[in-house]
């Protein structure tokens, strides 16, 4: 599918009711990743956020943040850092626990993943309440990094996650608002 505007990505996103728990409607962006033109559009648009040299690293949150983060790091000519769920990283790590809309979760990062003063672009697929991104940003900052921006493919505006991230530059390619055709 040829994508000319970010809003056109919405036609590829599936809505899955009651996943992962009853009452939650999950927006599945895997069809965006499957479509070569859509994926290229996502990476190209996010790479426009910063000029070469403004970012030292891209950090991606497990798991869909990896799918976007690694090619974005490549395009920007910088390294990539994974932020993972507990028990997935093999070496010394830092951990932060946070609240989700439907429970508690945690993320971890290797203690040497970010050096003091490095500028980091944090990426993930979707901004809902902001808990995951806030936790990931705090890990980067605990290691001495500077979060220069946080970028998402999708933002659910009515869940007000951007408010939790108000001290950061937050970018999203597409936004869903309550009542504009989205079920969430």
List, in sequence order, every beta strand (DSSP E) within 18-114.
25-28, 57-61, 79-83, 93-100, 103-110
62: annotated active-site residue: no
Q: Which of 8, 45, 101, 105 is catalytic?
A: 101
177: annotated active-site residue: no
Cβ atoms within 10 Å of 101's Cβ, excluding its own: 14
Q: Which of 64, 108, 155, 162 is catalytic?
A: 64
List, in sequence order, every beta strand (DSSP E) within 8-102.
14-17, 25-28, 57-61, 79-83, 93-100
Q: Annotated catalytic sites, by residue?
A: 64, 101
């Amino acid at each position: 599918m040829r994508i000319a505007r970010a809003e056109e990505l919405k036609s590829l996103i599936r809505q899955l009711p009651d996943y992962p728990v009853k009452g939650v409607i999950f927006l599945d962006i895997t069809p965006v990743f499957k479509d070569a033109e859509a994926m290229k559009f996502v990476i190209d648009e996010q790479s426009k956020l910063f000029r070469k040299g403004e970012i030292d690293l891209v950090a991606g949150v497990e798991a869909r943040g990896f799918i976007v983060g690694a090619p974005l790091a490549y395009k920007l000519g910088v390294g990539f850092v994974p932020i993972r769920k507990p028990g997935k990283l093999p070496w010394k790590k830092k951990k932060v626990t946070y609240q989700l809309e439907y429970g508690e979760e945690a993320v971890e990062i290797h203690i040497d993943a970010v050096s003091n003063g490095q500028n980091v672009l944090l990426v993930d697929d979707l901004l809902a309440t902001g808990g995951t991104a806030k936790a990931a940003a705090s890990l980067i900052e605990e290691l001495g990094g500077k979060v220069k921006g946080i970028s998402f493919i999708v933002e659910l505006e009515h869940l007000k996650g951007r408010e939790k991230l108000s001290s950061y530059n937050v970018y999203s390619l597409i936004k869903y608002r309550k009542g504009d055709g989205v079920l969430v």
